Structures are given as structure tokens and as C-alpha cells.
């Protein structure tokens, strides 16, 4: 019997609600598939600040270290908003986790079922078949991590702030390798997004991606696009992309634009894969919903559990190599949503169900 050893970091507000839904689904498929779940829960974010005085305590990091993957909820909310920025849950938990495990590859599916096109702000006639694209974002380099970073008061009293955008060829090559794998599993089309008409890092990015794909994946159709154009094209005709690859800050912005055009944040999952393999020889990864802690609906059985459940499916696919089990979960979510069982965020005037009933329906669809 295969054992799936993972850390469960539920976080704050709706985090624990949707996490318990995902765990119920995982336990159900584990029984069906003869898998053993060996998971350990640990506090993170605001819950960890309240209990341990830090958003990412050493005890939580130890639980993650001992696991083959991290299933993450979301962190933060009004309770901790008055803390200094550096101590706030998201900044003090997620960024250090990404850095500690070198989670350099963020994979975000942009998926909108045709039955849910009402959820998108785009006109339905532009997306008659829904949306089905993937964003691959470099997550540990670029301007968010580059040094120096400073804010200085100048001699004339003016204030100057500096961020530094840095990329190495090796960092670009390893994220390109992830994008190649993703593109090969789909339509074999890869679009690399940069700003090579202005930025040195983007000139290196474009050349490195071109050379790497030519050498390692000549079967792929590679194209390049400037980021300003990509932002427009995503809103105009998102399905012209299949897999798009981009650096950290551009990916931060484009992946949120992609989330908006795909409708509810409650449906969108993500995977962040690390530079090192886990004990099974698969990528160590952190799996989390694209949305935040939704304090406005927390504690009322209103949250859509699909994003967390689909994140658990990604964990099975990437960190445990269980692609067929992941597909079964994805199919059960799709069947549930398209048959009309929906939480309020995707109900559009129909009767909505709560988090628990939605999870029950997904579990029933797995049978």
C-alpha cells in the first residue's frame, strides 16, 4: 500500500473549512484506491502568530521538512492587518516557505468550465468553450527577491526606493524545463512572456528559453510575447494561449488576471514545485488555492471547497505521481459543478449549497 506523507497547513478564516473538505475527499479516494494517508497538521499564518508568536514557527517547518508535500490553505485576514508588514501572515509565512524549499515553479491552471461562463467578466461569445490554459510562473527570482533592496532619504530630502530585478540563466532554464513538461502534456504550444524590448533580464530570458527549447524540446511550438500585449491578449482571447511561461512579477499580475477571467477564486488551484525531489523521487511541492482566506464568508459553511480539493488533486499528480487518481478527483469536481450542485459564488441565481453539501456531492461523484 503506498503511503502519502504530507503536511497540512490550513491557515486562517476559510482555510480550515476548505481544508477539511479536501481531506474528506482524499480519505475517500485513499479508501477506494488502497492508498494510506499519513498527514500531520501544523499551524501557519495568523493562527500560528496567535499560538506561537510567528507566522511560520520552527515546529511547522519541521513538519514540512518531514513530509513529501505540503497541502496549504490560505493565511491572513483583518485580525492581523495592524501588524508591521514584515510580520503579517502572508509575507511572513508564504514567502519564507517558498524560499526555504526553493519552490521555484508555480503552476496555475486557468480553468473555466463551459457551463460556468457566466462567472467570467468576459463576454460569453469570446469563450464559448470556457477557458483552459496554464500559467507557469517563476517564483523565487526576479524583482521580489533581488538585492539590493532599500529605501534611502537623500541629501536633498527626497526619498529613493530601490528594488533589483535579477535572473540567472540556470534559473530560467529550470523553469523552462517545467513549462516544457506542462506543454508536452497538453497541446505542445508554449508562449514565453517577457519585456525584452526594455529589460536586460528579459533579453536573457528570451534567449535562454529559445535556446533551451530548441535543444531539449524541438517538438514544441514556441512563441514569445511582450507582457503588456499578453495582458491585453488574455482579456481578448485567452484560449490563444495553451501554456504560458513568465518571470515572477509578470506572472504574479498575469495569473491574477487569469483568475479573474476564469470566474470565482473558489475554483482555482495551484502547485508550487521545489528544486529538490521528495523521498519518492518526485518534486516536493506546496499546493494551495489561488484565493485568500475570504474573511467575509468564513465560518458560515459558504466557502467553495473546489479550489482546495483541486489543489489536493495536483498534489497527487506532481508529488505522488498519481495522475489517474488526480484525474478522477478533477472529473468528480467537474461532474458536480456541471450537474448544478454549486456554492453561492458559482450559483448565479440557482439554489446554492454549502461547503459541506458540495463536498458530499463531490464524494458521491467519486463513487
Concerning whether 219 is annotated as a catalytic residue, the answer is: no
Concerning whether 360 is annotated as a catalytic residue, the answer is: no
Annotated catalytic residue within 195, 287, 318, 345: 195
Which of 140, 246, 304, 341 contacts ligand NAD by CB under 6 A?
Answer: 304
**Strand ranges inside the chain, DSSP E:** 2-11, 35-41, 69-74, 105-112, 131-138, 150-153, 159-162, 189-194, 221-226, 243-246, 269-277, 283-289
DSSP state of 90: I
Concerning whether 252 is annotated as a catalytic residue, the answer is: yes
Q: What are phi and psi of 10, to 5 degrees?
A: -75, -40
Q: Which is nearer to ligand NAD, 11 or 141 (CB)?
A: 11
Concerning whether 50 is annotated as a catalytic residue, the answer is: no
Rounded Cα gap, residues 125 and 123, in angstroms:
5
Q: Which is nearer to ligand NAD, 321 or 354 (CB)?
A: 354
CB of 297 to ligand NAD, least distance (A): 5
Q: How many residues does the chain have?
A: 367
Binding letters toward ligand NAD, positions 32-51, x by CB under 6 A: --------------------
Burial state string for 76-114 with b = 16 or more CB within 10 A and e = fewer than 16:
bbebbeeeeeeebbbbbbbbebbeebebbbbbbbbbbbe
Binding letters toward ligand NAD, positions 49-78, x by CB under 6 A: -------------------------xxxx-
Annotated catalytic residue within 50, 129, 219, 228: 228
DSSP state of 352: P
Rounded Cα gap, residues 257 and 234, in angstroms:
8
Q: Which is nearer to ligand NAD, 26 or 75 (CB)?
A: 75
Rounded Cα gap, residues 176 and 193, in angstroms:
12
Tell me: does residue 256 bind ligand NAD (CB under 6 A): no
| Kind and range of the H or E run holding 183 | helix 169-184
Which of 60, 230, 291, 359 contacts ligand NAD by CB under 6 A?
Answer: 291
Range in contact with ligand NAD (rule: CB under 6 A) among 176-184, 222-230, 294-302, 331-339: 294-302
Annotated catalytic residue within 226, 252, 282, 360: 252
Q: If DSSP codes are grouped into helix, strand and coil, which group holds residue 302?
A: coil
Q: If DSSP codes are grouped into helix, strand and coil, which group holds residue 153?
A: strand
Concerning whether 228 is annotated as a catalytic residue, the answer is: yes
Which of 294, 310, 312, 326 contacts ligand NAD by CB under 6 A?
Answer: 294
Binding site for ligand NAD (CB under 6 A): 14, 18, 74-77, 90, 94, 264-266, 288, 291-297, 303-304, 307, 345
Residues designated as active site = 144, 195, 228, 252, 256
Amino acid at each position: 500500500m503506498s503511503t502519502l506523507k504530507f503536511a497540512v497547513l490550513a491557515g486562517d478564516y476559510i482555510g480550515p473549512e476548505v481544508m477539511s473538505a479536501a481531506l474528506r475527499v482524499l480519505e475517500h479516494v485513499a479508501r477506494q484506491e488502497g492508498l494510506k494517508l499519513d498527514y500531520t497538521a501544523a499551524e501557519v499564518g495568523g493562527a500560528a502568530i496567535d499560538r506561537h508568536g510567528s507566522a511560520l514557527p520552527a515546529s511547522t517547518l519541521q513538519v514540512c521538512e518531514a513530509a513529501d508535500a505540503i497541502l496549504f490553505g490560505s493565511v491572513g485576514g483583518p485580525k492581523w492587518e495592524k501588524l508591521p508588514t514584515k510580520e503579517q501572515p502572508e509575507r511572513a509565512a508564504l514567502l519564507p516557505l517558498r524560499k526555504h524549499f526553493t519552490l521555484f515553479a508555480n503552476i496555475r491552471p486557468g480553468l473555466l468550465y463551459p457551463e460556468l461562463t457566466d462567472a467570467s467578466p468576459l463576454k460569453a461569445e469570446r469563450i464559448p468553450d470556457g477557458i483552459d490554459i496554464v500559467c507557469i510562473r517563476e517564483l523565487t527570482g526576479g524583482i521580489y527577491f533581488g538585492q539590493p533592496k532599500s529605501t534611502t532619504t537623500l541629501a536633498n530630502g527626497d526619498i529613493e526606493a530601490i528594488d533589483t530585478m535579477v535572473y540567472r540563466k540556470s534559473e530560467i532554464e529550470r523553469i523552462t524545463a517545467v513549462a516544457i513538461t506542462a506543454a508536452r502534456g497538453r497541446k505542445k504550444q508554449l508562449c514565453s512572456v517577457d519585456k525584452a524590448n526594455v529589460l536586460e533580464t528579459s533579453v536573457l530570458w528570451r534567449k535562454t528559453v529559445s535556446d533551451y527549447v530548441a535543444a531539449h524540446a524541438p517538438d514544441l511550438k514556441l512563441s514569445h510575447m511582450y507582457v503588456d500585449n499578453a495582458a491585453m491578449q488574455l482579456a481578448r482571447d485567452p484560449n490563444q494561449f495553451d501554456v504560458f511561461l513568465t518571470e515572477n512579477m509578470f506572472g504574479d499580475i498575469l495569473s491574477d488576471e487569469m483568475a479573474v477571467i476564469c470566474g470565482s477564486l473558489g475554483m482555482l488551484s495551484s502547485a508550487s514545485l521545489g528544486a529538490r525531489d521528495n523521498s519518492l523521487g518526485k518534486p516536493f511541492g506546496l499546493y494551495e488555492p489561488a484565493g485568500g482566506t475570504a474573511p467575509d464568508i468564513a465560518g458560515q459553511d459558504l466557502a467553495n471547497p473546489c479550489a482546495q480539493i483541486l489543489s489536493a488533486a495536483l498534489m497527487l499528480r506532481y508529488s505522488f505521481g498519481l495522475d489517474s487518481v488526480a484525474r478522477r478527483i478533477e472529473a468528480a469536481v467537474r461532474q458536480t459543478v456541471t450537474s448544478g450542485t454549486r456554492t453561492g459564488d458559482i450559483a448565479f441565481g440557482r439554489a446554492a449549497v454549502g461547503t459541506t453539501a458540495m463536498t458530499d456531492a463531490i464524494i458521491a461523484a467519486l463513487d
